[in-house]
């Protein structure tokens, strides 16, 4: 009988919240004690410095002669001032403690928003390909043509969706496995097959050339996602009736994957921010992106010790280069 990982994560989250609450409580308690102690010490010092001897000789009511006189008019402003200062300082401490307490919640909410937007973007391309494949099956059925091969492709597209979602969940939970090896040629082929229907709709030919059978230190499903994102970007920006090329080979200790389109190039202004989240380049008149694909490619490549960059761009096309540690 295996433990539910969701229960383990929930228990871990509860412990984190409890630790955060304890830290905040200790901070507020310690800071309040310091403020109150300092106020009392200051007030005592003022009393000592402003007090003066009674001046009366010892008598039945004060045999020791140690009585002193305190001027209330001098002490009262100090009492009021220290009280106001204490309230202000305690309010500032509470505000800082509250900010510290909600910082993990803010980070968690940001992670949640990022995951939702990432999932929406990452699942969009496989879903679009799946929809295109369903339309092909419908047309073939209407014409009485065989659909067995299209059904096989539908099952593969559905598996791609499942793999993408599983990889995203694993990454979000911090359980990615950087020691996994990916067959670069197989990942490139899977990406091309995923986008075959989209390329056909745009009348774009995809050519691949993988030399030497290289392997990269990255999970295969993640590398396939990266190739899909780069290919999707290339197909969406290349000219109708032209080609997109994918080339891969090993160079020393790294694997280099290049995706070359035949688009209009990237302006200098867009090149500086194209890997930022929600950045948009000029519209190509084709399917509109959501400004996340290349940002996700960079994040994933960096996570596994790689990088992605614009190797060259001109009015005849753009080349993206993805580098990853070789296995």
Give tens-digit pLDDT for 16-74: 777 777 777 787 788 888 888 888 888 888 777 777 776 666 656 655 556 667 777 77
Residue 261 belongs to some domain of the structure: yes
Q: How far apart are CA 269 and CA 287, in angstroms?
A: 22
Cβ atoms < 10 Å from Cβ of 310: 16
Q: Is 318 found in the same domain as 182?
A: yes
Residue 125 belongs to some domain of the structure: no
pLDDT (0 to 100) of residue 290: 38
pLDDT (0 to 100) of residue 287: 47
Q: Is 214 found in the same domain as 105?
A: no
Partners of residue 314 on adjacent β-strands: 317
Q: Would the pLDDT of 195 be above 90?
A: no
Helix axes 72-143 and 220-237, enclosed angle (nearest 10): 80
Residue 62 belongs to some domain of the structure: no
Residue 145 belongs to some domain of the structure: no
Q: How far apart are CA 227 and CA 192, in angstroms?
A: 8
pLDDT (0 to 100) of residue 2: 46
Q: Is 300 found in the same domain as 218?
A: yes
Residue 169 belongs to some domain of the structure: no
Q: Tokens in use for 188?
A: 């490139």
State how many domains the chain has: 2
Cβ atoms < 10 Å from Cβ of 315: 8
Compute and round to an integer the Cα radius of gyration of the chain. Answer: 34
Q: Tokens in use for 292?
A: 């996340």
Residue 124 belongs to some domain of the structure: no
Q: What residues make up the domain containing 12?
A: 5-51+69-113
Last residue of a domain, one of 80, 96, 113: 113
Q: Is 312 found in the same domain as 183?
A: yes
Q: How far apart are CA 140 and CA 147, in angstroms?
A: 6
Percent of the chain past pLDDT 70, that is, above it, reads 77
Sheet of 317-325: strand order equals 205-210, 243-251, 254-260, 317-325, 307-314
pLDDT (0 to 100) of residue 12: 65
Burial 238-264 (b: 16+ CB within 10 A, else e): bbeeebbbbbbebeeebbbbbbbbbbb
Confidence of residue 202 (pLDDT cuts 50, 70, 90): confident
Give CA separation, 1 vs 7, 12, 97, 218, in Å: 14, 20, 42, 31
Q: Is 73 found in the same domain as 184?
A: no
Residue 200 belongs to some domain of the structure: yes
pLDDT (0 to 100) of residue 322: 96
Domain at 268, CATH number: 3.30.565.10
What is the average pLDDT value for the chain, to the nearest integer?
79
Confidence of residue 285 (pLDDT cuts 50, 70, 90): very low
Q: How far apart are CA 195 and CA 32, in angstroms?
A: 62
Confidence of residue 201 (pLDDT cuts 50, 70, 90): confident
Q: Is 198 found in the same domain as 100?
A: no
pLDDT tens per residue across span 119-153: 666 677 777 777 877 888 888 888 888 888 878 87
Q: Is 185 found in the same domain as 108?
A: no
Q: Is 185 found in the same domain as 79?
A: no
- CA 170 distance to own-chain centroid: 14
Strand extents, DSSP E, the chain: 52-53, 68-69, 182-183, 205-210, 215-216, 243-251, 254-260, 307-314, 317-325
pLDDT tens per residue across span 232-261: 889 988 888 899 999 999 999 999 999 999
pLDDT (0 to 100) of residue 225: 85
Q: How far apart are CA 204 and CA 61, in angstroms?
A: 109
For 183-192, what is the mean pLDDT?
93
**Nearest in space to 167 (alpha carbons), one of 176, 155, 178:** 176
Confidence of residue 1 (pLDDT cuts 50, 70, 90): very low
Q: Is 187 found in the same domain as 296?
A: yes
pLDDT tens per residue across span 61-118: 655 556 667 777 777 888 888 888 888 888 888 888 777 777 776 776 766 676 676 6
Q: Which helix (H) or strand (E) holds 211?
A: none
Q: Tokens in use for 117?
A: 């937007």
Q: Is 198 found in the same domain as 96?
A: no
Q: Is 307 found in the same domain as 205?
A: yes
Are 231 and 244 a contacting pair, CB within 8 Å? yes
Q: Is 183 found in the same domain as 318?
A: yes
Least confident among 124-133, 226-235, 265-274:
124-133
């Amino acid at each position: 009988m295996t433990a539910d990982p969701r229960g383990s994560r929930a228990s871990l989250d509860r412990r984190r919240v409890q630790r955060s609450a304890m830290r905040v409580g200790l901070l507020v308690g310690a800071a309040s004690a310091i403020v109150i102690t300092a106020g009392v010490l200051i007030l005592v010092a003022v009393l000592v410095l402003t007090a003066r001897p009674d001046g009366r000789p010892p008598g039945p009511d004060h045999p020791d002669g140690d009585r002193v006189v305190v001027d209330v008019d001098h002490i009262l402003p100090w009492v009021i001032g220290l009280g106001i200062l204490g309230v202000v300082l305690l309010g500032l401490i509470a505000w800082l403690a509250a900010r510290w307490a909600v910082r993990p919640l803010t980070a968690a909410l940001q992670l949640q928003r990022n995951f939702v937007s990432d999932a929406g973007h990452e699942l969009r391309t496989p879903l679009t390909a799946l929809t295109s494949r369903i339309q092909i099956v419908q047309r073939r059925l209407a014409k009485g043509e065989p659909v067995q091969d299209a059904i096989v492709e539908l099952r593969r597209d559905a598996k791609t969706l499942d793999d993408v979602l599983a990889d995203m969940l694993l990454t979000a939970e911090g359980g990615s496995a950087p020691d996994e090896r990916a067959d670069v040629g197989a990942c490139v082929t899977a990406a091309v097959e995923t986008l075959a229907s989209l390329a056909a709709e745009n009348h774009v030919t995809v050519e691949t050339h993988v030399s030497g059978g290289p392997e990269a230190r990255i999970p295969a499903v993640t590398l396939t996602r990266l190739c899909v994102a780069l290919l999707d970007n290339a197909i969406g920006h290349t000219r109708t009736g032209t080609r997109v090329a994918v080339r891969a080979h090993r160079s020393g200790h790294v694997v280099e994957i290049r995706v070359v389109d035949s688009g209009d190039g990237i302006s200098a202004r867009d090149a500086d921010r194209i890997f930022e989240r929600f950045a948009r380049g000029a519209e190509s008149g084709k399917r509109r992106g959501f400004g996340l694909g290349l940002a996700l490619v960079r994040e994933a490549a960096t996570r596994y010790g790689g990088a992605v960059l614009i190797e060259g761009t001109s009015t005849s096309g753009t080349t993206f280069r993805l580098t990853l540690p070789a296995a």
